[in-house]
């Protein structure tokens, strides 16, 4: 059997252990501590967002963002349908109703025109949505100028799910820095990892202070355990933050490596009939967390996404269909959805190729050869 090629696996930079060893030497294992403070300050530098709370996951960051936005039972939250389920699940945690919005064809992210139609329709039906969750899927910046303008016009809190987009930007502004709140993920498959973790970022100092408070069991200021709010155990540990500090030192390299994977694939496969890669639009800079393509069987002489995926699998290579939209997921069957067919078509015809920053040239060539062979 050929060696396994993963879709996106952890890639240590070398300095992680230095930070972790420091934590061990000081017995600063848990919780919080100097690595957490350092990681938060460094993330603030990288994103240009003033305040950062390091948390146990991107999902917990989204949960806290919804709480800070005042979302509660019976409220409605607009959410991009083309995403990973973790974008939408926290809407259910707070007892609100997700309202799904389809994508546009340039970035595969939330369609701004449709977003405005949805807001108008929800208001007409009797309820103004409390928040909007926009996602920079696969690291590709969404159309933020339009989306920010709409959120401001209707005075709706904007939450940016930048879990897949650390290192991506639009016209020089980092993904995650446009909204009222941004969230990041350092899960094992993301562009950098803390083995598991996330962050909430915002320029609103009081909001981030409140997030830290809620994330540490909402302990009131008293010598005994005293609580006036429901709290959560959502903070990042000092050990995980140490891994994150080491990873941040190589973030720039990781972005370049993933972008170079994407260039390799477009150069070697871009001319095949019916294959189209997701590309940047003017002004946008993608970390190309994953290289993604769609294939049109009418032009590809019958080669389908599944033909490619199964041929790769037979050679011990992991690839994955594009994320199944939330409005097609059984768990969200009851939620309102405003669709235009774009995300469903992406799901039916799209594939994520192995995209790890630790892939070797020979790995990429192995992937490309198998795909090219299907067209011979
Ligand atoms: C990974 C991911 C999340 C969740 O992050 P976790 O750290 O795994 O909880 C949220 N949204 C998107 C789009 C993701 O890819």
- pLDDT surpassing 80 at residue 11: yes
Burial group, residue 105, by CB count within 10 angstroms (0-12, 13-18, 19+): exposed
Measured CA to CA, the distance from residue 95 to residue 70 in angstroms comes to 12
Residue 100 is predicted with a pLDDT of 98
Residue 144 is predicted with a pLDDT of 98
Per-residue model confidence as pLDDT tens digits over 251-299: 999 999 999 999 999 999 999 999 999 999 999 999 999 999 999 999 9
Per-residue model confidence as pLDDT tens digits over 304-355: 999 999 999 999 999 999 999 999 999 999 999 999 999 999 999 999 999 9
Please indicate whether residue 190 is annotated as part of the active site: yes
Does residue 187 line the site of ligand 1, with CB under 6 A? yes
Measured CA to CA, the distance from residue 72 to residue 69 in angstroms comes to 9
Does residue 164 line the site of ligand 1, with CB under 6 A? yes
> How many CB atoms are located within 10 Å of the residue 270 CB?
13
DSSP code of residue 228: S
Burial group, residue 328, by CB count within 10 angstroms (0-12, 13-18, 19+): middle
Residue 82 is predicted with a pLDDT of 98
Measured CA to CA, the distance from residue 327 to residue 329 in angstroms comes to 6
Residue 276 is predicted with a pLDDT of 98
Does residue 140 line the site of ligand 1, with CB under 6 A? no
25 CA to centre of ligand 1 in angstroms: 32
Residues 316, 4: contact at Cβ < 8 Å?
yes
- pLDDT surpassing 90 at residue 202: yes
320 CA to centre of ligand 1 in angstroms: 16
Residue 339 is predicted with a pLDDT of 98
Which residues have C-beta within 8 Å of that of residue 16, sequence separation ≥ 6?
Answer: 242, 243, 245, 246, 247
Share of the chain above pLDDT 90, in %: 97
Residues 168, 136: contact at Cβ < 8 Å?
yes
| Six-digit token string for 173 | 């502004």
Measured CA to CA, the distance from residue 230 to residue 213 in angstroms comes to 10
Residues 216, 56: contact at Cβ < 8 Å?
no
Residue 50 is predicted with a pLDDT of 98
Q: Which atom of ligand 1 is nearest to the CA of 185?
A: 7
List the 284-285 sheet strands across, edge first: 173-174, 169-170, 284-285
Name the catalytic one among 130, 143, 190, 262: 190
Per-residue model confidence as pLDDT tens digits over 65-122: 999 999 999 999 999 999 999 999 999 999 999 999 999 999 999 999 999 999 999 9
DSSP sequence for 191-219: SS-SSS-EEEEES-HHHHHHHHHHHBTT-
Residue 197 is predicted with a pLDDT of 98
Residues 106, 280: contact at Cβ < 8 Å?
no
Does residue 355 line the site of ligand 1, with CB under 6 A? no
Average pLDDT of the chain to the nearest whole number: 97
> How many CB atoms are located within 10 Å of the residue 272 CB?
19
Does residue 86 line the site of ligand 1, with CB under 6 A? yes
Per-residue model confidence as pLDDT tens digits over 150-173: 999 999 999 999 999 999 999 999
The angle, 0 to 180 degrees and rounded to 10, between the axes of the packed helices 251-269 and 361-374 is: 30
pLDDT grade for 31, boundaries at 50, 70 and 90: confident
Measured CA to CA, the distance from residue 98 to residue 280 in angstroms comes to 29
- pLDDT surpassing 90 at residue 32: no
Strand pairing partners for 201?
52, 182
Residues 319, 352: contact at Cβ < 8 Å?
yes
- pLDDT surpassing 90 at residue 236: yes
| Six-digit token string for 15 | 């300095």
DSSP sequence for 303-353: --HHHHHHHHHHTTB--EEPPPPGGGSGGGTTS-EE--SHHHHHHHHEEEE
Place of tokens 């994103």: 47
3-state secondary structure of 149: helix
pLDDT grade for 30, boundaries at 50, 70 and 90: confident
- pLDDT surpassing 80 at residue 200: yes
| Six-digit token string for 351 | 């594939």
Residue 92 is predicted with a pLDDT of 98
Measured CA to CA, the distance from residue 370 to residue 301 in angstroms comes to 16
| Six-digit token string for 322 | 């594009």
301 CA to centre of ligand 1 in angstroms: 36
311 CA to centre of ligand 1 in angstroms: 28
Measured CA to CA, the distance from residue 357 to residue 350 in angstroms comes to 21
* Domains along the sequence of the chain with CATH: 16-248 (3.40.640.10), 251-375 (3.90.1150.10)
Residues 231, 219: contact at Cβ < 8 Å?
yes
> Model pTM?
0.97
Residues 200, 19: contact at Cβ < 8 Å?
no
Measured CA to CA, the distance from residue 326 to residue 334 in angstroms comes to 11
Q: Which atom of ligand 1 is nearest to the CA of 189?
A: 1
- pLDDT surpassing 90 at residue 376: no
């Amino acid at each position: 059997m050929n060696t396994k090629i993963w879709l996106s696996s952890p890639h240590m930079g070398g300095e992680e252990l230095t930070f972790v060893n420091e934590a061990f030497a000081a017995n600063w294992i848990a919780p919080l501590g100097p690595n957490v403070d350092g990681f938060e300050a460094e993330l603030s530098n990288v994103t240009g967002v003033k305040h950062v709370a390091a948390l146990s996951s991107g999902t917990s960051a989204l949960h806290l963002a919804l709480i800070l936005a005042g979302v509660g039972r019976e409220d409605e939250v607009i959410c991009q349908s083309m995403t990973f389920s973790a974008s939408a699940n926290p809407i259910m945690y707070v007892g609100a109703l997700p309202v799904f919005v389809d994508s546009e064809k340039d970035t595969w992210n939330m369609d701004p025109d449709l977003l405005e139609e949805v807001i108008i329709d929800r208001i007409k039906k009797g309820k103004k949505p409390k928040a909007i969750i926009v996602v920079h899927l696969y690291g590709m910046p969404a159309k933020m100028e339009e989306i920010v303008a709409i959120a401001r016009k209707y005075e709706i809190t904007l939450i940016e799910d930048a879990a897949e987009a650390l290192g991506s930007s639009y016209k020089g502004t980092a993904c995650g820095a446009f909204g009222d709140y941004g969230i990041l993920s350092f899960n094992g498959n993301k562009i950098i990892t803390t083995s598991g973790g996330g962050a909430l970022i915002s320029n609103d100092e009081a909001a981030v202070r409140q997030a830290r408070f809620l994330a540490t069991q909402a302990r009131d200021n008293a010598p005994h355990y005293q609580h006036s709010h429901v709290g959560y155990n959502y903070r990042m540990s000092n050990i995980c933050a140490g891994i994150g500090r080491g990873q941040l030192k190589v973030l720039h390299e990781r972005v370049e490596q993933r972008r170079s994977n994407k260039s390799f694939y477009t150069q070697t496969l871009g001319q095949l009939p019916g294959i189209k890669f997701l590309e940047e639009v003017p002004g946008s800079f993608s970390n190309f967390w994953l290289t993604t393509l769609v294939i049109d069987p009418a032009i590809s002489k019958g080669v389908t996404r599944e033909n490619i995926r199964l041929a790769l699998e037979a050679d011990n290579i992991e690839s994955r269909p594009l994320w199944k939209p939330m409005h097609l997921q059984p768990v969200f069957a009851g939620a309102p959805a405003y669709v235009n067919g774009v995300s469903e078509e992406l799901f039916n015809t799209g594939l994520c190729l192995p995209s790890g920053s630790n892939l070797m040239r020979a790995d990429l060539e192995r992937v490309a050869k198998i795909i090219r062979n299907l067209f011979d």
